[in-house]
Structure 1
Amino acid sequence: MTAYELCSDAVIRMQPDTVSAIFARQGEAVVADERVAEDGAAFALAGDALSSSGCAWLFEIGPAEARLRREEGLQPILSRIATAPEGELILRIDRVGSAAGAQTPAHRHRGPGIRRLVSGLLHAEVGGHFDRIEPGQAWFESGREDVVGTNVSGGDNSFVRVMLLPSELAGGASSFVAASPVDAAKPRAARIQILGERKI
């Protein structure tokens, strides 16, 4: 799973054996012949052309042996080897928001994914690691380690998330798994907007 940023005026083509989620961060993106308004999302398949009038965030899922793309106008942000859940899968892109001071209970999700902060400031505890996440930064969650996120911005936070999930969650079913019964009883304090899902 790899996150890229596509700069204005660049045009790229999706690689073989991949599926991608696109988030139009600034300006309009165009995937094949589909126009994606700012703050909107779409999916792209192998061979599709992608361009942006401003800045598009590309989340590409491909074979483990695929090389990192280094093309004019396309900047790699984060890349990780991910273990997909067994069985049929969906690729989901959503947007998650939280209010100042909100903290998630310890949890994991039912599949791996990359997140990228749109606005605010976030403390992310992922397994045994701690990161201070600023706008534009990305982080990876395997779905196997416990995670706690805390909004430390003093205002609203927002991030985009792309996950590989079991197909039984299609239609917006939650992928959230609390780390303990105590955590399950805590408020989640997150606003989730599904931007798209695709069977893969």
Structure 2
Amino acid sequence: MSKLHLIASLETFEKGGRMMLPRGNAKALYVVDGAVRCDGSLMSASLAANSAAFLGEDTELLSRDGATVIRWDLSALPDPVEASEREGVTAKLLLSSALDIDPNVIYLLRCDRVAFPPGGVAYLHTHRGPGTRVLLSGSIRIDTDGASHHYEPLQAWYESGPAPVFAAASETEPTAFARVMILPAELKGQSSIRYEREEDKDKPKPQSYQVYLDRLL
């Protein structure tokens, strides 16, 4: 087994802010607000708020009017890949988590968004792989491994996958988070969630999902 790290960081672009990300590690971007132009040798795209992209090449990011971007790096090092050029962009590390990855297995990088109405909950469940979440709006309580943690917007948390989790969203406002998970390749296009209690499996599920990336690594 080789040790990899899933690293979530926040990139805040001023007006006209630009940065160059080098090729190498797998990277996923999610635009929280504003807009970012991504230009690489294989891909050019304009990303508006609530959109995402996978980067695996040298890519220039430019925001004409400013933007807030969450970036996930899958790296052998515990720190995010540093930009080779950076002007008017501030970086903040949110969370770095070590993963045990079998080098002989093909994995799936999934980036999606999960949204809850006021008072929504995710019944006790597991996932078939680890991942890091970043809260976008509202608030959320995560109960797992005998502990309870409360998160506010732009705070991050890690879920190992096999450890059961119960999530309770804000009672008074909609709640949403973005996440990247590393999953078995056979889950491409399929849900990764498993409910722990038989009585919860057929209950109405208030959360909704928007998948942006299902990229084989």
Correspondence for 2:18 among 11, 19, 23: 11
Shift in Å, 1:20: 1.0
In structure 1, runs of 5+ residues without a counterpart are: none
Which residue identity does 2:7 align to in structure 1?
T
Shift in Å, 1:67: 3.5
RMSD (Å) for aligned C-alpha atoms:
2.1
- Look up the SS of the partner of 1:168 in the other structure: helix
1:25 and 2:32 matched? yes
Rounded Cα–Cα distance in structure 1 between residues aligned with 2:193 and 2:46: 31
Rounded Cα–Cα distance in structure 1 between residues aligned with 2:147 and 2:37: 36
1:36 is aligned to 47
Cα distance change, pair 179–51 in 1 and its aligned pair in 2 (3 A): farther
1:147 and 2:159 matched? no
1:181 and 2:198 matched? yes
Identity of counterpart residues, as a percentage?
27
Is 1:84–1:112's contact at 8 Å kept on the other side of the alignment?
no
The residue correspondences of 1:166-177 to structure 2 (distance < 5 A) are 166-171=184-189, 173-177=190-194
2:59 is aligned to 48
1:81 and 2:88 matched? no
The aligned length equals: 198
In structure 2, runs of 5+ residues without a counterpart are: 1-5, 84-88
Shift in Å, 1:102: 1.5
Cα distance change, pair 84–148 in 1 and its aligned pair in 2 (3 A): farther
Correspondence for 2:118 among 95, 100, 107: 100
Instruction: Tell me the alpha carbon deviations over residues 13-55 of structure 1, each in whole angstroms, 9 at most, x when there is no partner.
Output: 3355311111111111222232111111111114223344311
TM-score (norm 2): 0.82
Q: Which has the higher strand share?
A: 2
TM-score (norm 1): 0.89
1:126 is aligned to 144
Correspondence for 2:7 among 2, 11, 15: 2
Instruction: Tell me the alpha carbon deviations over residues 56-107 of structure 1, each in whole angstroms, 9 at most, x when there is no partner.
Output: 11111111x3435577621111111123477221111111111111211111
Which residue identity does 1:67 align to in structure 2?
D
- Look up the SS of the partner of 1:82 in the other structure: strand
